[in-house]
Structure 1
Amino acid sequence: MPAEEEHRIEVHLDKLLAQRGMTLTELAGRVGITLANLSILKNGRARAIRFSTLTAMCDALDCQPADMLTVRRADR
């Protein structure tokens, strides 16, 4: 993928946080990630995520990665 091409991953943290009555700040504390980095991920601006971070987020939100992330079709 060329560096200038945007990724098509959509992040659904807002939905998961609302369903669980949790704030972004609370999730950041439970996962051990800065609020700034979690915000970058939530807003779809992250270029990568560590599996250990993804695992911690899934544990904290009691979800699977597919609940948090989806891939938007290329033709949209």
Structure 2
Amino acid sequence: MSIVVNLNTVLAKRNLKSKELAEMIGITEANLSILKSGKAKAIRFSTLDAICKALDCQPTDILAYEKE
């Protein structure tokens, strides 16, 4: 897929663990893992909004487009 998820990088910069973020935004660790691995087929805007609020970032900080 051409969409790259940089969520691990943002979490590391903020010294947060996946478990902490999952609790902050109200999703399961399993669903967050699917998103982080890039295996998710879609993401709800409400989830993206919650992630950006929790991490004080922009969507472009965690998602990028790369040509294949």
TM-score between the two structures when normalised by the length of structure 2: 0.96
1:43 Cα deviation from its structure 2 partner: 0.3
Provide the aligned length of Structure 1 versus Structure 2.
Answer: 68
Post-superposition CA distance 1:15-72 (Å, at most 9, x none): 1001001000000000101100000000000000000000000000100000000011
Work out the percentage of aligned pairs sharing the same amino acid.
Answer: 56
Unaligned runs of 5+ in 1: 1-6
Q: Which has the higher helix share?
A: 2
Match of 1:3 in 2: none
Q: Which runs of 4+ in 1 moved over 2 A?
A: none
**Structure with the greater relative contact order (CA < 8 A, sep ≥ 6): 1 or 2?**
2
Q: RMSD in angstroms over aligned alpha carbons? A: 0.6
| Counterpart pick for 2:49 among 40, 51, 55 | 55
